[in-house]
Amino acid sequence: MSSEPTLESTNNPSTPSLSNLPTELLLEIIYHVLGLYPDQIPRLDIDVEKYTLPNSWPSSLLTLNSSFDSITQHLLYTHLRFRSTRQLQLFARRLNHLTTGGHKLPYPPKTISVTLAGATADFYVYVYLRDVLLTCLGHPPYAESNGSGEVSQNSAPGGGKLELDALRLCFNSYASHRIPSHNMELIRDALSLVDAKTFMWTGPDPDHHFSTAIVPAATSYLFDALSTWSSLTHLKLTNIAFPFPFNNESPEKPFLPPLPLTVRTIYIGQATALPPIEIAAMVFRGMETGLEAVRIVDGYSGSIWGPRLRRSFVEAAAAPLIVISSGLGEAGGGGIDVGMTNLLVDAIRRVVRCEAKNDRIMGGDRADGSALLE
């Protein structure tokens, strides 16, 4: 009866054993088995679901031997994945206990993913996410429930941000009418602690179910936080409603805080109340900084019962934007800088891509089999 070689191998160098492999190769094997590819950077041409963290955590590998403990700790701490608010809460508590005792994280996190089912998210997710980020930065968590549903907090500590390769959120920003809208500022408080190269916030519902995960109040605080980042390169937002009332005419000027100059690709999907002038402003700011692509998929300047956002709408917003940016609307009697306007229109045609992906069963702006909306 033959026995299979184990990880606790004999000293015989000819005995096959994973422990005899170089650490780099062994780590690649673990990456492959767990389905984790940390070097893959999400781009606009990559389905967000393909950029995934492991379906099962490598915690069981920690108990095999000291070699595996060292290797899998790297995976455990550099790629954090949370599937409930309870996990966020417990991680912050235990990490705070660890750092209070004079210990540090073995490895700083590089990617963080928070995925919550549609009905499980409430505003406490921002409290616990903020506490996780604070403890990763070496600060104690400063938000606690006082038992009445309110959140008490001390002044936020000063200092730097947690630098990440990627931060991915997948949950609803607003779960019910019982959550006070002013607590949406917790989104800004939490995300202002981060500086990620790639940021994605998507809804938990399938693509064919047009839903709003990021409500207008959350969008405002989200862009407030993003404007403080200095390394953001790739941005993906879906199931988002912008803070612009449907019953008004298109705003005369952009109202969102500008994104960091480091942004190269922007993807906005299933968006409502998105004014064309806001997209034109993103392109205008990116003309000198290397903005490569802006994709608007199933975007609407009003409600989903109105027309989809087309590239021609964004081009038409170029002239008013130039008037605002140059101050000609006030000092020059509404004159237009034709040369700059033409440059912006050319940039919009080069960078912006408006697409139709999902049609309503009945009504609405039909794509008629054409994906591009020009």
Residue 286 and residue 194 share a domain: no
**Total count of domains within the chain:** 2
169, 200, 231 - which closes a domain = 200
Q: Is 139 domain-assigned?
A: yes
Q: Is 280 domain-assigned?
A: yes
β-strand partners of 269: 238, 297
Q: Is the pLDDT of residue 315 over 50?
A: yes
> Phi/psi zone of residue 322: left (φ > 0), alpha (ψ -120 to 50 degrees), beta?
alpha
Q: By the 8 A CB rule, do 321 and 284 touch?
A: yes
Residue 289 and residue 145 share a domain: no
Prediction pTM value: 0.79
Residue 282 and residue 161 share a domain: no
- When mean pLDDT is compared across 19-33, 162-176, 240-254, 317-331, the lowest value belongs to 240-254
Q: How far is CA 310 from CA 129, 300, 328, in A?
A: 36, 9, 27
Q: By the 8 A CB rule, do 141 and 85 touch?
A: no
Residue 184 and residue 59 share a domain: yes
Q: Is 352 domain-assigned?
A: yes
Q: Is 16 domain-assigned?
A: no
**pLDDT, mean of residues 351-364:** 78
Residue 283 and residue 158 share a domain: no
200, 228, 260 - which closes a domain = 200
- Percent over 90 (pLDDT), the chain: 33
Closest CA to 139 of 168, 99, 178, 103: 99
Q: Is 12 domain-assigned?
A: no
Residue 364 and residue 286 share a domain: yes
Q: Is 4 domain-assigned?
A: no
Residue 280 and residue 176 share a domain: no
Residue 48 and residue 164 share a domain: yes
Residue 161 and residue 300 share a domain: no
**pLDDT, mean of residues 76-102:** 80
Q: By the 8 A CB rule, do 116 and 125 touch?
A: yes
Residue 247 and residue 195 share a domain: no
Report pLDDT for 22.
79
Q: Is 66 domain-assigned?
A: yes
Residue 180 and residue 54 share a domain: yes
Report pLDDT for 35.
58
Confidence band, pLDDT 50/70/90 cuts, at residue 58 = low
Q: What average pLDDT does the structure give for the chain?
A: 76
- Percent over 70 (pLDDT), the chain: 66
**pLDDT, mean of residues 305-333:** 78
Q: Is the pLDDT of residue 5 over 50?
A: no
Residue-number span of the structural domain to which 273 is assigned: 242-374
Residue type at 190 in one-letter notation: A
Q: Is 297 domain-assigned?
A: yes
As a whole number of angstroms, the distance between CA 129 and CA 119 comes to: 18
Selection from 111-120, 190-199, 364-373 with the highest mean pLDDT: 190-199
**pLDDT, mean of residues 138-160:** 50
The two three-digit tokens of residue 4, written as one number: 């299979």
Residue 354 and residue 293 share a domain: yes
> ∠ CA 178-182-184 to the nearest 5 degrees?
90
**pLDDT, mean of residues 180-191:** 78
Report pLDDT for 286.
92
200, 222, 252 - which closes a domain = 200
Report pLDDT for 233.
96
